[in-house]
């Protein structure tokens, strides 16, 4: 028998019981990881503007947690695989330079057959140079840096993600570096990977990450006098009205919402 009195949806289709237990909902990566926020709805509308039917969705947003040895790898038949080889070579190379790997690599993540090293930002240029120059690593190409903004990830709201490829060994890894909103500085690696020049400018333009040491850190997409960084999640929708056949179409944040 279905007792509807105990499962009556609240405003917007959200079950009050679900709302109270939202923190206990699993994230999309199983039990490991760290939940940084709980999302209600699908598209961020909270004033009745969501007509998709997904307004009652309650979902934990979870970052993947650190992996444990052996890491394996997508092309490895044994438990010890190519990811372990890369990690061993990198940690050994850092030790040869007098660095403590545990202080340089904050965590190593293996998620969906992909390897990511989370690097302390002050060590990023040295790690990048090591990955490029060490014969056993030889990640010759950085295909760019992408910015990500997680307002709920307190103390590390801004993320910079680098994709590195080794042509010599046919391998692909990722580096991830974080910075807080209050101090959005990350060292530039243009001196190591010159092709990152424009990518760092774009990430600065859209997310506000400041790449210290960049040869010319200026906006690349938005006008020089633009205020704010448009791809941050706390950036207002904004816009300008558009005239069309004698009528004026309001900016997106001023258009009619359903209620």
Please give the residue that has the higher pLDDT: either 251 or 171. Answer: 171
Q: Where are the domains of the chain?
A: 13-63, 82-212
What angle (nearest 5°) sits at the alpha carbon of residue 57, between those of residues 56 and 61? 145
Given a contact cutoff of 8 angstroms between Cβ atoms, the answer to whether 117 and 128 are in contact is: no
- Please provide the CATH number assigned to the domain covering 82-212: 3.30.460.80
> What DSSP element (H or E) covers 139?
none
Nearest to 150 by CA among 175, 176, 171: 176
Q: How many of the other CB atoms lie within 10 Å of CB of 179?
A: 19
| Cα distance between residue 53 and residue 51, in whole Å | 6
Q: Report the pLDDT averaged over residues 130-152.
A: 96
51-69 pLDDT per residue, tens: 666 777 888 778 889 999 9
Q: Report the pLDDT averaged over residues 88-102.
A: 97
Q: Please check the confidence at residue 227 and state whether its pLDDT lies above 50.
A: yes
Q: Report the pLDDT averaged over residues 72-93.
A: 93
Mean pLDDT score of the chain = 84
Question: Of 28-37, 41-50, 142-151, 219-228, which range is least confident?
Answer: 41-50
Looking at residue 44, what is its pLDDT? 58
Looking at residue 257, what is its pLDDT? 60
Please give the residue that has the higher pLDDT: either 21 or 203. Answer: 203
Predicted TM-score of the model (pTM): 0.79
Q: What is the DSSP letter of 123?
A: G
168-183 pLDDT per residue, tens: 999 999 999 999 999 9
Going by C-beta distance under 8 Å and a sequence separation of 6 or more, which residues neighbour residue 190? Answer: 196, 197, 200, 211, 213, 214, 215
* pLDDT bracket for residue 28 (50, 70, 90): very low
Please give the residue that has the higher pLDDT: either 258 or 140. Answer: 140
Given a contact cutoff of 8 angstroms between Cβ atoms, the answer to whether 218 and 151 are in contact is: no
Looking at residue 2, what is its pLDDT? 42
CA dihedral sign of residues 16, 20, 23, 24: negative
E-assigned strand segments in the chain: 34-40, 58-63, 105-111, 114-119, 141-149, 158-166, 171-179, 185-187, 210-212, 242-244, 247-249
| Cα distance between residue 32 and residue 12, in whole Å | 30
Given a contact cutoff of 8 angstroms between Cβ atoms, the answer to whether 92 and 69 are in contact is: no
Q: Please check the confidence at residue 10 and state whether its pLDDT lies above 80.
A: no
């Amino acid at each position: 028998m279905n007792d509807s009195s105990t499962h009556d949806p609240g405003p917007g289709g959200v079950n009050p019981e679900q709302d109270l237990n939202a923190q206990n909902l699993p994230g999309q990566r199983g039990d490991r990881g760290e939940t940084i926020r709980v999302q209600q709805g699908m598209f961020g509308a909270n004033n009745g503007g969501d007509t998709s039917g997904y307004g009652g969705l309650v979902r934990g947003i979870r970052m993947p947690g650190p992996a444990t040895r052996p890491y394996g790898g997508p092309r490895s038949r044994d438990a010890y695989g190519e990811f372990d080889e890369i990690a061993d070579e990198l940690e050994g190379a850092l030790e040869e330079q007098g660095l403590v790997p545990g202080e340089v690599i904050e965590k190593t993540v293996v998620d969906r057959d992909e390897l990511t090293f989370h690097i302390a930002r002050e060590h990023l240029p040295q790690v990048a140079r090591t990955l490029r120059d060490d014969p056993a690593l030889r990640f010759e190409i950085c295909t760019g840096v992408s910015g990500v903004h997680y307002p709920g990830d307190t103390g590390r709201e801004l993320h910079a993600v680098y994709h590195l490829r080794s042509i010599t060994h046919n391998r692909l890894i990722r580096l991830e570096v974080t910075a807080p909103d209050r101090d959005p500085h990350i060292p530039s690696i243009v001196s190591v990977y010159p092709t990152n020049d424009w990518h760092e400018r774009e990430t600065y333009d859209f997310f506000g990450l400041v790449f210290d040491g960049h040869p010319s850190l200026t906006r690349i997409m938005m006008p020089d006098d633009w205020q704010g960084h448009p791809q941050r999640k706390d950036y207002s929708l904004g816009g300008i009205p558009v005239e069309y056949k004698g009528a004026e179409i309001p900016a997106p944040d001023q258009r009619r919402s359903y209620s």
